[in-house]
Amino acid sequence: MRPVALLLISSLWLATTGFAQHNPETDEGPSTPPNILKTQSGIVETGSMGNAAYRIDVPANWNHSLVVFYHGYSERSFHYRSDAQLHDQARPMFQRGFAVIQSGYSQTGWALQAAYPETEHLRKYFTKKYGQPKETYVAGGSMGGALTMMTLELNPKPYVAGLDLCGAVEPTYEWASRRFAWRAAFDYFFPGIFPPLVPTPQDFIENDGLRQKILVALKAKPAAAASMRDITYEHTDLQVANLMMYITWQMADFQRKAGGNPFDNRNYIYTRSSEDPHTDYALNDGVRRYAADDKARKWVATWYTPTGKLTRPMLALHTVFDPLVPATSMTLYGRMVEEAGFGNNYVQTYVHREGHCTMSADEVGRAFDQLMLWVHQKKIPQAGLLR
């Protein structure tokens, strides 16, 4: 099934269900009395709503506007300490006088299904307790960038604009099936290192012992190691080892939530594994091919296939070399926005940096300043290198 068909399935599902799933445990506010910490900088409120931790930061110089911030993909449950400093992606907004709210989500891994409604509930709780904000922005990093995009597409009314930081904004099926295909390629070049790809053991964990085992195998077969670096766009064997472990954990997460294997590499043609085309020929002939389970594939399409209907400004910021969310993957979402007729609402910028979400707090702050100018003065940021 092609991505366009998946998009239609996703859109129909959203239309018939209303999308937002209400959790009776969180509909009445915090599960227990929240912890309130007052400092010279402002107020920090932490607590939980159902199984989701949350944090609210209101600065002493509050401008009565709000940033709804989505955190990224996490293999462990999120918890918030009221005495901990805000991280680099959210602190610049707080320093500019904005209140910042964050949900820890009740799910780990690819958590859009929980994160979207739980964060919306937190926003409503904030408004009820602290008052209606003058303006509300949405922002997030990595998976949180995908949630930023998804929120602006599905629920734009409360928001004036969004800031996507290193977000996985192309259709989930696209990037996740690409990673699935990469793990299958690794198994071709280095059989027996990992447990089965389908089904991936649900108790799989990343660990140093496995990392060292992978590195030894890569060193023993330098040509195959070079092929894996080329296929995955990585620079080092260590990056390949870390990525393969991460993908394996992620596939277990997807299979558990989707109720089967959502991914299919039968139509995937492997290229650029070597300067010698015969390496590609052998890889395509020898790699194991997998079929997706239809029900599981539909779940991935639902969470989430973008529509491109971006009715609010969204500024995206990426590093040039991102080993987890390649900057080239942003092109597809930009095209979807253009095709939907909202190209003027999307601007992609970058910084000279390597790594996933490694932009500095200063760079995040500058991007946010440009987003505010876009909202208040209609000054559209310049695409390209962040100025």
pLDDT tens-digit map of 262-282: 999 999 999 999 999 999 999
What average pLDDT does this structure show over 102-126? 98
Mean pLDDT in the chain?
93
What is the β-pairing status of strands 52-59 and 42-49?
antiparallel
- Residues written for the chain: 387
Residue 304: is the preceding peptide bond cis (ω within 30°)? Answer: yes
The residues spanned by each domain of the chain are 3-170+305-385, 172-300
Query: Is the model's pLDDT at 14 over the cut of 60?
Result: no
How confident is residue 17, by pLDDT bands cut at 50, 70 and 90? very low
Would you state the structure tokens that stand for residue 310, as one six-digit string? Answer: 């971006």
Query: Is the model's pLDDT at 320 over the cut of 90?
Result: yes
Phi and psi torsions of 57, nearest 5°? -120, 120
Query: Is the model's pLDDT at 6 over the cut of 70?
Result: no
What's the pLDDT at 27? 53
Distance (Å, whole) CA 364 – CA 308: 24
pTM: 0.92
> Which fold, 3-170+305-385?
Rossmann fold (3.40.50)
Q: How deeply is 275 buried, as exposed, middle or buried, from its count of CB atoms within 10 A (0-12, 13-18, 19+)?
A: exposed
What average pLDDT does this structure show over 168-173? 97
Query: Tens digit of pLDDT for each residue in 204-250?
Result: 999 999 999 999 999 999 999 999 999 999 999 999 999 999 999 99
How confident is residue 174, by pLDDT bands cut at 50, 70 and 90? very high
DSSP category for residue 12: H
Query: Tens digit of pLDDT for each residue in 333-373?
Result: 999 999 999 999 999 999 999 999 999 999 999 999 999 99
Phi and psi torsions of 377, nearest 5°? -120, 5
Percent of the chain scoring above 70 in pLDDT = 93
Query: Tens digit of pLDDT for each residue in 146-165?
Result: 999 999 999 999 999 999 99
